[in-house]
Amino acid sequence: MLYLGVAVAVAIAVLLVVVFIVPSLTGSTGSSPGGTGTVLTYSGARPFADHAVSGFQGGGWTLLLAAGLVSAVSESVPVNTTALGNISCVFTPAVLLTSLTLPGYSGNRSSGAAPAWEFVYRNSEDTIALVSVIEGQGTVLGTLTGLECLLFSQLFTPIPGNVIDSSKAAGAVEPEAHAFLSAHPNASAEYALVGGYSIGGRHPGPDWAVSYNTCSLSPTASGNGVEFNATVNATTGRVVSTNTTVGVSCGSGTVPPQNQVSTSLIIGPEVVTVTPRYTNYSFAVGFAENGITWSNLTAEVVNGSVLGSSPPVWSGWTLTALTSAGATIATYDPVSVSWSGGATQPLVVGDELVLTTTVNLSGDVLFLEGEGSFVGGQPWSL
């Protein structure tokens, strides 16, 4: 689990932090080309990245992660290793750059288009290659090697060919993001695509993470901002979750800490109660830490042992969080993918999670996935 946490941290650093992961080069004074004003969605930018990396170090590269970055104004981003300073990854540059220029863009954020895209590839030797596409020009920035990066490379699964474009992901989120973007039309935007990851026999993903933020993408930004986040299933286009956070810290060194659901929460074993009208699956909370709340969790029920192996069951069941005395804390609706009631209060030992169903879920699997500052998840067989 330590290495899973490191891998997730690296993924967030690569995709969601505006500091591009390239070391400073003594004596180098270059910067990225200015470009031609080209703004691309994922499907438009990926061919440039694929072409740039195709013959690099013998080829054989597979795409794991991608992210589009949008700023209202042009930003010159210094090149350094801030995001990887505390783990044993070795960066080998492929170009001599001290900065990258992120062009400004004032277009519709719900278009899913961006002037800058970053791509993460893996080869057969589990080396990671970082590729930047700025205004339609693809550049291999360099490679990452080392123990943690090796584990990171092995953990994440490739982006499949049937994912939806960033335009469709942002379009699916638009109804939920409309109020935020109406109030902040020039918000910074990030469209991050993860192929998925494989751990403990589970293979979640692929997902789009769509984020809008009132903070500048400049690494020297300061103060606080407001952020809208959404997760979209990258094959079906279904919006899995949304949330708005007030008071997020601006600047590249302020990525919120990520806690693992699997190390922050232990529930069960299950107790099954059957009546003529419904079946209850009850799970007692045996361990909870890091301030995890019910609102830090989303739930899916699937017919299979692997998340994503079959369509989820979206109706016929609900979740109820109870105190040890049986009082209702909050309820979860799988159709709206949301909690109601006191879901923001931290879990405590003795709380109980009850899945009530009017359909046969025997043999199915309940997955609880992290939200906000919690990542990963856990399965429970029904």
The predicted-structure confidence for 266-320, as pLDDT tens digits, reads as follows 887 788 888 888 899 999 998 888 889 998 888 888 775 444 445 667 778 889 9
For residue 300, tell me if it sits in a domain. yes
State the DSSP H helix or E strand holding residue 171, giving kind and residue range, or none if neither: helix 166-183
Same domain, 208 and 265: no
pLDDT of residue 7 exceeding 60: no
Last-in-domain residue among 249, 272, 300: 249
Quick one: average pLDDT of 112-118?
Answer: 93
Bigger pLDDT: 20 vs 316: 316
Same domain, 183 and 323: no
Same domain, 177 and 294: no
% of the chain beyond a pLDDT of 90: 31
For residue 39, tell me if it sits in a domain. yes
In the structure, what pLDDT confidence band is assigned to residue 18 with cuts at 50, 70 and 90? Answer: very low
d(CA 23, CA 11): 18
Report the pLDDT value the prediction gives residue 84, as an integer from 0 to 100: 40
Intra-chain end-to-end CA distance of the chain, in Å: 24
d(CA 330, CA 323): 10
Q: In the chain, how many domains are there?
A: 2
Same domain, 267 and 231: no
Residue-wise DSSP of 91-153: EEESS--SEEEE-B--S-GGG--BSEEEEEEE-TT--EEEEEEETTEEEEEEEEESHHHHHHH
Q: How do beta strands 239-249 and 259-260 pair?
A: unpaired
Q: Are the CB atoms for 2 and 88 separated by under 8 Å?
A: no
Q: Which of 143-147, 167-171, 256-260, 360-364 bottoms out in mean pLDDT, i.e. has the lowest?
A: 256-260
Largest CA distance in the chain: 77
Same domain, 67 and 172: yes
Helices 2-16 & 147-155 angle (0-180, nearest 10): 80
Domain range spanning residue 269?
Answer: 259-381
Same domain, 118 and 179: yes
Q: Are the CB atoms for 91 and 81 separated by under 8 Å?
A: yes
> Residue 314's domain is classified under what CATH number?
2.60.40
Last-in-domain residue among 249, 276, 298: 249
d(CA 246, CA 187): 14
pLDDT digit string, tens, across residues 328-351: 999 998 877 788 888 888 999 999
> Which of 234, 270, 265 shows the shortest CA–CA distance to 366?
270
% of the chain beyond a pLDDT of 70: 77
Question: Under 8 Å CB-to-CB from 369, ≥6 apart: which residues?
Answer: 204, 261, 297, 298, 299, 300, 376, 377
Q: Are the CB atoms for 164 and 186 separated by under 8 Å?
A: no
- The vertex-191 CA angle with 293 and 115, nearest 5°, equals 150
For residue 254, tell me if it sits in a domain. no
What is the sign, positive or negative, of the torsion defined by CA atoms of 39, 45, 48, 49? positive
pLDDT of residue 22 exceeding 60: no
The tokens of 351 are what? 């709380």
CA 232 distance to own-chain centroid = 10
Same domain, 11 and 36: yes
Residue in the structure block whose two tokens are 């801030």? 82
Mean pLDDT of all residues in the chain?
78
